[in-house]
Amino acid sequence: MLTQEALASGIDEKWAEEVRRLALEQDAVILAHNYQVPAIQDVAHHVGDSLELSRIAADVEQSTIVFCGVHFMAETAKILAPDKRVLIPDQDAGCSLAASITADQLRAWKAEHPGAVVVMYVNTTAEVKAETDYCCTSANAVQIVGAIPEDKEILFGPDMFLGAYVERQTGRKMQIWMGECHVHAGIEPDDIQDTLAKYPDAEMLIHPECGCSSQCMYLLSTGDLPADRTFVLGTGGMVRRMQESDADTFIVATETGMLHRLHQENPEAELIAANEAAVCGYMKMITPPKLLRCLQTGQDEVTIPKDIMDKARIPIERMISIL
Ligand code: 13P
Ligand code: SF4
């Protein structure tokens, strides 16, 4: 069933039927991240967070994966399913966070800290993953860091807000790379407090990449934010919280595509974006016409040199084995 937004944008049911028909014809599975536009979420076979989609990519039976998300996510799918054809509807769909550290920068950082364990968020290129010991996502960063022996120095990157959040949660001091996602960095403590003042009974769902997350942890510890109604969660955790919560109103502090995903879980709930300008232009480069073109022409195929792919698989598999 297509949403009003999809119909209004000129995407009709014929488009959805053609996308599904071509996917079947080409033995393709369509995966969509929680931030994708509504029409693409609705037509996808699976919608999820970065970890859920990586796991699905590793297990699917189809010979082609069409990844509707940003480039590093499609690369992760290719790394976990190297024998499959992995397509992304626009290979220029990047990520400001992944772009904040290069493999050369990471090598130089490691040289300054010999013996340190490198933990990198999955929002990194395959080349950076090839230099990494453990990958993590926003859903499991605390557990991954908790699994590293206490006497080891940790280099954590590239997101400084997620790093500060993990330090607070684990009580463990780390070396943190000063990278950020421009979308989440723009969601500030004032956005949360102003929205909470308007909706005092709302539950708050806050992504740990937000510029407000470390301050929110502080406000939680001082009692200035309600501990029973404030949740710092990755996008998959927000979906699960929505399924189990009795609240009527939710303040959602992450990319606004998430509101469509959460609305599917609980159409009755009132969903308020903490900052309506939190839109990831890279995620929105994946449009319905480009998805159709991708299935028709096989553009764009994700390719990674084999030696990089084999090295990059190790930290991803270590992450998956811990959970
Ligand atoms: P999740 O890992 O929570 O899906 O987030 C991915 C992402 O790109 C955050 O901006
Ligand atoms: Fe990257 Fe931020 Fe967009 Fe997520 S929201 S894909 S971290 S730029």
Q: How far is the CA of 248 from the centre of ligand 1 (A)?
A: 25
Sheet architecture: strand order including 64-68: 46-48, 28-33, 64-68, 85-87
Does the Cβ of 48 fall within 6 Å of ligand 1?
A: no
Residues 68 and 45: their CA atoms lie apart, in Å, by 11
Per cent of the chain over pLDDT 90 is 84
Does the Cβ of 137 fall within 6 Å of ligand 1?
A: yes
Q: Once rounded to an integer, what is the mean pLDDT over residues 185-204? A: 92
pLDDT, tens only, 198-248 = 999 999 999 999 988 878 887 887 888 888 999 999 999 999 999 999 999
Tokens of 294: 């991708």
> Which atom, in ligand 1's list, is nearest to the CA of 233?
3
HEC string for 266-288: CCCCEEEECCCCCCCCCHHHCCH
Structure-model confidence comparison of residues 2 and 67, the more confident one: 67
Lookup result for tokens 């053609």? 18
Domains annotated for the chain, with CATH where assigned, are 4-93+283-304 (3.40.50.10800), 98-181 (3.40.50.10800), 187-273 (3.40.50.10800)
Q: How far is the CA of 307 from the centre of ligand 2 (A)?
A: 27
Ligand 2, residues at Cβ distance < 6 Å? 70, 95-97, 123, 181, 183-184, 255, 280, 282-283
Lowest mean pLDDT among 1-10, 42-51, 302-311: 1-10
pLDDT, tens only, 255-306 = 999 999 999 999 999 999 999 999 999 999 999 999 999 999 999 999 999 9
Residues 79 and 250: their CA atoms lie apart, in Å, by 36
Is residue 15 predicted with pLDDT exceeding 60? yes
Is residue 33 predicted with pLDDT exceeding 80? yes
Lowest mean pLDDT among 11-20, 79-88, 199-208, 273-282: 11-20
Is residue 175 predicted with pLDDT exceeding 90? yes
Q: Once rounded to an integer, what is the mean pLDDT over residues 156-162? A: 95
pLDDT number for residue 3: 54
Is residue 6 predicted with pLDDT exceeding 60? no
- Contact (CB, 8 A) for 204 and 253: yes
Is residue 7 predicted with pLDDT exceeding 70? no
For residue 77, how many other CB atoms are within 10 A of its CB? 25
Find the ligand nearest to 122 CA: 1
Find the ligand nearest to 93 CA: 2
Residue nearest to atom 7 of ligand 2 (CA): 181
Q: What is the mean pLDDT of the chain?
A: 93
